[in-house]
Amino acid sequence: MRGRKPKPTALKMLHGTKKCRINWREPKPVGPIGEPPDWLDDVSKNYWRSVVTTMGKVFTAADRGAFEMLCKSYSRWKQMEQELEAKGTTYYPFGVCEIIVGGVTKLVGETHPRPQVALMKMYYRQYCQLCAEFGITPSARTRIIGPGAFVGEESIPDEQFGDEV
């Protein structure tokens, strides 16, 4: 999609947008997102449960497919991070020679980044984009208009903002 992301209808109504510019037929999905599907791995399922319980009832059944992608990309990114942590980010594809210079052994050879580095970057980029879509990042959460406080959070009193009550 080119250009700016469209403003949600609720925001348009609050800002007093012209009635002809508001999509009155915007679909309003119903039903909870539910439990994670069986085909997700354990890391994805744990992430699913933690985000759904943290964000409250923000997600609906219509978000399920994209949310599965979010959880799976998180899981794959984490898997690539663990592999790179264990093996290192570079390797010697054509072998390595040991040269002793002044009593110090040095490895000589051409290093290349592991393929997992590119995969990790791809999964991380995908994960960040989906987090922004779902309002999971702090900056994306500022665009969400919720029903009040989120789960486990007290609402902020107006006097903290200097407003008269």
* 2 belongs to a structural domain: no
- Residues 84-112, mean pLDDT to the nearest whole number: 86
Segment 67-76, tens digit of pLDDT: 999 999 999 9
pLDDT of amino acid 153: 54
Segment 118-153, tens digit of pLDDT: 999 999 999 999 988 888 877 776 666 655 554 555
Asked if residue 161 has pLDDT above 80, the reply is no
Question: Closest Cα partner for 81 from 46, 43, 117?
Answer: 117
* Structural domains in the chain (count): 1
- Residues 27-47, mean pLDDT to the nearest whole number: 90
Encoded tokens for 119? 């995969």
pLDDT of amino acid 95: 81
pLDDT of amino acid 165: 46
The amino acid at 82: Q
* 112 belongs to a structural domain: yes
Cα(120)–Cα(128) distance, integer angstroms:
12
* 161 belongs to a structural domain: no
pLDDT of amino acid 143: 64
**Residue 99 β-bridge partners:** 106
What is the domain extent for residue 74?
A: 9-144
What is the pTM assigned to this prediction? 0.70
* 155 belongs to a structural domain: no
* 164 belongs to a structural domain: no
Chain centre distance of CA 160: 30
- Residues 39-59, mean pLDDT to the nearest whole number: 89
b/e map of 39-62 (b: 16 or more CB within 10 Å)?
A: ebeebbbebbeebbeebeebbeee
Cα(78)–Cα(72) distance, integer angstroms:
10
* 56 belongs to a structural domain: yes
Segment 76-96, tens digit of pLDDT: 999 999 999 999 998 888 888
* 24 belongs to a structural domain: yes
Runs of H (alpha helix) within 1-63: 9-14, 42-55
Question: Sign of the CA dihedral 22, 26, 31, 36?
Answer: negative
In the chain, DSSP assigns E strands to 90-91, 97-101, 104-108, 112-113
CA 152 vs CA 55, 56, 148: distances in Å? 10, 9, 12
